[in-house]
Amino acid sequence: MSMLTLDSHPSPSFGFQKPIAKPSGLHRLFAAAIVSDQFREALLREPEAALAGGYLGQTFTLTDKERTIIRNVRAKTLTDFAQKVNQALKNDKPIV
């Protein structure tokens, strides 16, 4: 009896494989805010508490710069929050 298995990640030509990137702390933070209304509201109202509490028992690995930006951003919607974080990371300027 033979067994057929399917490889879910086909190998590219010549044996080269693209490494799978691990999601950054910011990616995980925004993913949690997208899927959880409760976490999103905490992030918008009390970002420091949201960072300290994490999501589903896991904290977010952020740089000091990212952590400072997240703590200081004030926004009413996740879209606005994300735009302000992105702008602050790009411009390296204080958040308003």
Statement: residue 71 has pLDDT above 90: yes
In which region does residue 54 sit, left (phi positive, over 0), alpha (psi from -120 to 50) or beta (all else)? left
What's residue 10's pLDDT?
A: 54
pLDDT in tens, 4-54: 444 455 555 556 666 555 668 999 999 999 999 999 999 999 999 999 999
Q: CB-side exposure of 31: number of CA atoms within 13 Å?
A: 11
Tokens of 36: 């959880």
Contact assessment for residue 84 and residue 47, using Cβ atoms and an 8 Å cutoff: no
In whole angstroms, what is the distance from residue 66 CA to residue 69 CA? 5
